[in-house]
Amino acid sequence: MQKLLLVVLVAFGCLTLTSAQNLQSPSTFLGYDIGTQFSRHHQVVDYFKSVAEAVPNNVKIEQYGTTNERRALILAYISSEENIKNLETICENNLKNTGLLEGNPTNTDVAIVWLSYNVHGNEASSSEAAMLTLYKLLTERKDLLENTVVIIDPGINPDGRDRYVNWYNETKSTPYDIDQQASEHKEPWPGGRPNHYLFDLNRDWAWVTQIETQERLKVYNKWMPHIHVDFHEQGPNEPYYFAPAAEPFHEIISDWQRDFQTLIGKNHAKYFDAEGWLFFTRERFDLFYPSYGDTYPTYMGAIGMTYEQGGHGMSGLGILNDEGHVLTLVERLTHHTVTGLSTVEMASKNAKQLNTEFAKFFDNSDLKYKSYVVKGNQDKINSLKNLLNKHEIKFENANNGKVSGYDYTNGKQGTMSVDNNSLVIHTNQPKGKMIKVLFEPNAKLNDSLTYDITAWSVPYAYGLDALASTSKVSSTKTYEGKMPTVLSKAYGYVSKWNSLKDAQFLADLLKHDFKVRFTEKPFSSNGEKFDRGSLIITQGDNKQLEDFLGLLNQLKQKHKQDLTQINSGFSQTTPDIGSPDIKLVNKQNVAVLSGEGTSSLSYGEIWHFFEQQLHYPLTSINTDNLSRTNLSKYNVLIIPNGYYGSVLNDTNMQKIKDWVQAGGKVIAIDGALRSFAGKDGFSLKYKSSDNNNSNDNLTPYAEREREYTNNLITGAIFKTKIDNTHPMAFGYSKDYFTLKLGSSAYDLLGSGYNVGHLADTKVYSGFAGKDALPNLENTLVFGEERKGSGSFIYFVDNTLFRSFWENGKLFLVNAVFFVNNNAYEL
């Protein structure tokens, strides 16, 4: 019946030539049958807009942001006429239901379902499915909209999607070639999965480092949906995966959340069974790491789910898979459409209960830890506040006194004195469970087989002292720190050096052609003590600047930087300002390798760090061009994590060695160390594990996966001993918590500086297999090896991993600007 009506409508549209007024199917609108071509992002957006124009009483479109490459991020709100009219009230009622907004909800009968598509750009069937799902909701399944608001984000990652789609469109044969070896099935580096800065947006929900996440969370927090689905694709030989998810489940996940996942899964199964389609559930995709499109919503009270269709970037419009089946885009998007509609159906059927159970999730009076208290460097505290604000988590300042509880620094019970600069985060607030997930010292893991890292505890990541208290810590509403003062004429000005914010200040000074010094030894002047790494800006060094003091005040204001005035170059305790131990910071020309061989994620982290955080220029050199590159133009070459077997061949290796000999600095990260370890002339040595007791290999076949985990480290936190007299560690204390991502281990450098090393293997948080641990004892974490006038600088642990380990970022800045400061003149 409804189909018939549509035919009439379309016919009517043709007659009046105002087709924009009518609801069109995606195929009619696009001019090709959906699934027979990949639609570019703007076409998807245009389709959504055309639908909103055609049925404005049922669909509202909102642009909530713009990507790095200036593509629109949009949401569509789809519901009955009545609900669309009351959208604001429904939204408010929902927030009242959770306690996030004060007052009692007037009505909580409406379910809110949020469907997110194409977070991984090259899992490209899902934005196509978004269009068809929108259309079917407004035609075949309009009944569901009576008590459901559906929010559709047709493309979380448009830059990645278009990278994939444009590449595919320009590469594919006509008709498409189903041969797996055809070039249309071989995506080139870096692939369409990540966003512009090559971040995996499905690892960014909790850390909010990317513009797409930042803009999305603002709306997400306003809506707090009851169900959130993240649509993905897996390899072309896999069938379909849907909820319920696999173990481990994080312990805060409620029985209701588990049960409802099963309920939804069974509904999907009904549709899949009817068609004879294959699927699997309860395996592989777990609910633990908080930064996914399923876990983050789950920890915010929703039923958060990942759906995975077989397909992915290698599948194109059609591919012959290993089972002899020709998997087409049409098939892929059809499955995603079915699960999307089935999800909305279950929401609609259970709208009342969804609301009741959703409200219960936000009662956090039972959580073990009542307050988390953190203290330390003010910049780091501010940086943490910034993160909490993005999640709309409330915090206060501690009242003076002592608190006792679990001490993060020692990993045991202890006490900590706090004052009103210390931050207190109480868990008895609506987002208490998310607070627990982000802060808890050691997340409880009921199964070690997980898909991702097992440790992320925020106090370690931010380099703050912390204590978790089982009783509520006394606090008052946040007070704002003192306003920065204005500098007057003096001999010079000193800035401390502890945080990324200090580094940003330095980068800006250099950009404005300030001559800046840093001290390699502590000194005191004007009654204050300054640690290694402190920056010194003197009037005398900067005569070339027209308005030195004006400009310095301007930058000080901009960065809210505290500077201490000193009135003489004569220090109370040496070194004096003119001492050889106080050196000029040379402007560094920094290059980074990109392209084939590099890990696109690691390259992206470095790119994003320099461009969006440090704001310091960076030249990207493609590995294909390394042999033809004139390295003498750069002081620093960063080699991201990667596999450089063919890139760092004998010729290129010699070239790099010669350049270092002449004064260049190589900064090698994680896997890049393999290219130097054990090689002629390097002190860096790979530490092989001596646990290969193959004589007792009687592990049953069924146990193979679990046995394997004994050798794994899947993101665990260790305490690292730091030599903070070395310039690479200026601004750090003697202990530093590092996030170890794997079991690779390197011996301490025989010649060179062991700036950071693991003295013991106590795991402060996360999972580390029992067989992997012994090999880590006394191994390198950060080091420097000098060659001629230059240096090789080693980062065994990647401090920029997903850009969330705030406290590790200064190591990289130190390596660039302070380590082996005798770099040659360009």
Nearer to Zn ion, 123 or 502 (CB): 123
Using the contact rule CB under 5 A, the part of the chain among 66-74, 138-146, 230-238, 246-254 near Zn ion is 230-238
Q: Are 781 and 797 contacting, i.e. CB atoms less than 8 angstroms apart?
A: yes
If residue 415 lies in a helix (H) or strand (E), which one and from where to where? strand 412-418
Q: How far apart are the first and last CA of the chain?
A: 77
Other residues' Cβ atoms within 10 Å of the Cβ of residue 689? 14
Compute the least distance from the CB of residue 202 to Zn ion, in Å.
Answer: 6
Which DSSP symbol is given to 510?
H
CB of 165 to Zn ion, least distance (A): 16
Give the nearer residue to Zn ion in terms of CB position, either 123 or 159. Answer: 123
- Of residues 452-481, those binding Zn ion (CB under 5 A): none
Question: CB-wise, 164 or 659, nearer to Zn ion?
Answer: 164
Cα angle: 290, vertex 291, 294; to 5 degrees: 80
The count of other CB atoms within 10 Å of the CB of residue 63 is 12
Residue with Cβ nearer Zn ion (191 or 492): 191
For the bound state, the minimum distance from the C-beta of residue 312 to Zn ion, rounded and expressed in Å, comes to: 8
Interacting span for Zn ion (CB under 5 A) from 232-240, 362-370, 421-429, 736-744: 232-240
Rg (CA), the chain: 28
Q: CA 78, 79, 80, 86 torsion: positive or negative? A: negative
Residue nearest to Zn ion (CB): 232
User: Whole-number minimum distance, CB 314 to Zn ion, in Å?
Assistant: 13
Strand partners, 636: 590, 665
Output the smallest distance, CB 124 to Zn ion, in A: 11
Q: Which letter does DSSP use for residue 38 in this model?
A: P
Q: Give the Cα separation of 551 and 109 in Å (integer).
A: 59
Structure tokens at 703: 């146990």
Nearer to Zn ion, 232 or 375 (CB): 232
Torsion of CA 210, 215, 216, 222, to 10 degrees: 140
**How would you classify the pairing of strands 72-78 and 148-153?**
antiparallel
With beta carbons less than 8 A apart as the criterion, state whether 203 and 604 touch.
Answer: no
Q: How far is the CB of 381 from Zn ion (least distance, A)?
A: 35
Task: Work out how close the CB of 306 gets to Zn ion at its nearest, in angstroms, rounded to a whole number.
Answer: 8
In the bound state with Zn ion, the residue whose beta carbon lies nearer, of 123 and 379, is 123
Q: Which of 120, 556 has the CB closer to Zn ion?
A: 120
- CA 726, CA 563: separation in Å to the nearest integer? 24
**Segment contacting Zn ion by CB under 5 A, of 92-100, 119-127, 511-519, 574-582:** 119-127
Of 120, 161, 431, 515, which lies in the binding site for Zn ion, with binding defined by CB under 5 A?
120
Query: Which range, of 122-130, 285-293, 697-705, 806-814, touches Zn ion by CB under 5 A?
Result: 122-130
With contacts defined by CB under 5 A, how many residues of the chain interact with Zn ion?
A: 3
Q: What is the DSSP letter of 639?
A: E
**Pick 79 or 450: Cβ nearer Zn ion:** 450
Amino acid identity, residue 320?
L
Q: Would you say 332 or 370 has its CB closer to Zn ion?
A: 332
- In the complex with Zn ion, which residue's Cβ is closer, 202 or 775? 202
CB of 120 to Zn ion, least distance (A): 4
236/249 Cα distance (integer angstroms): 27
Reference 628, options 649, 645, 652; nearest CA is 652
Task: Report in angstroms how near the CB of residue 206 gets to Zn ion at its nearest.
Answer: 17
CA–CA dist 384, 395 (Å, integer): 10
Interaction mask 186-225, Zn ion, x per CB under 5 A: ----------------------------------------
Q: State which residue, 185 or 232, has the beta carbon closest to Zn ion.
A: 232
CA-wise closest residue to 289 among 439, 436, 463, 451 = 451
Q: Which one of the spans 36-44, 118-126, 165-173, 645-653 is the region binding Zn ion (CB under 5 A)?
A: 118-126
Binding mask 397-426 for Zn ion (x = CB under 5 A): ------------------------------
The span of 80-88, 115-123, 291-299, 362-370 binding Zn ion (CB under 5 A) equals 115-123
Enumerate residues 6+ apart whose C-beta is below 8 A from 511: 615, 616
Site string for Zn ion, 516-545 (x = CB under 5 A): ------------------------------
Q: How far apart are CA 669 and CA 17, in angstroms?
A: 61
CB of 66 to Zn ion, least distance (A): 23
Backbone angles phi, psi at 450, to 5 degrees: -125, 165
C-alpha–C-alpha distance, residues 269 and 248, integer Å? 22
Closer CB to Zn ion, 197 or 395, in the complex: 197
Shortest distance, position 335 Cβ to Zn ion, whole Å: 15
Closest to Zn ion by CB, 120 or 496:
120
312 sits near Zn ion (criterion: CB under 5 A): no
CB of 518 to Zn ion, least distance (A): 44
In the complex, what is the shortest distance from the CB of residue 286 to Zn ion, in angstroms, rounded to a whole number?
15
d(CA 81, CA 146): 8
- 123/345 with CB nearer Zn ion: 123
Q: How far is the CB of 451 from Zn ion (least distance, A)?
A: 11
The interface region with Zn ion, picked from 117-125, 251-259, 486-494, 756-764 by CB under 5 A, is 117-125
Nearer to Zn ion, 117 or 518 (CB): 117
150: left (phi over 0), alpha (psi -120 to 50) or beta: beta
Candidates 50-58, 114-122, 417-425, 809-817; binding stretch for Zn ion (CB under 5 A) = 114-122
Q: Which amino acid, residue 731?
A: G
* Nearer residue to Zn ion within complex by CB, 120 or 787: 120
Three-class HEC string of 739-805: EECCCCCEECCCCCEEEEEECCCCEEEEEECCCCCHHHCCEEEEEEEEECCEEEEEECCCCCHHHCC
According to CB under 5 A, which one of 232, 250, 501, 532 is a site residue for Zn ion?
232
Find the part of the chain contacting Zn ion (CB under 5 A) among 10-18, 231-239, 321-329, 426-434.
231-239
Measured from the CB atom, is 232 or 370 closer to Zn ion?
232
Provide the minimum distance between the beta carbon of 164 and Zn ion in the complex, in angstroms, as a whole number: 12
Q: How far apart are CA 619 and CA 603, in angstroms?
A: 12
3-state secondary structure 540-594: HHHCCCCCHHHHHHHHHHHCCCCCEEECCCCCCECCCCCCCCEEECCCCCEEEEE
Q: Give the footprint of Zn ion on residues 146-185 (CB under 5 A).
A: none
The footprint of Zn ion (CB under 5 A) covers 120, 123, 232
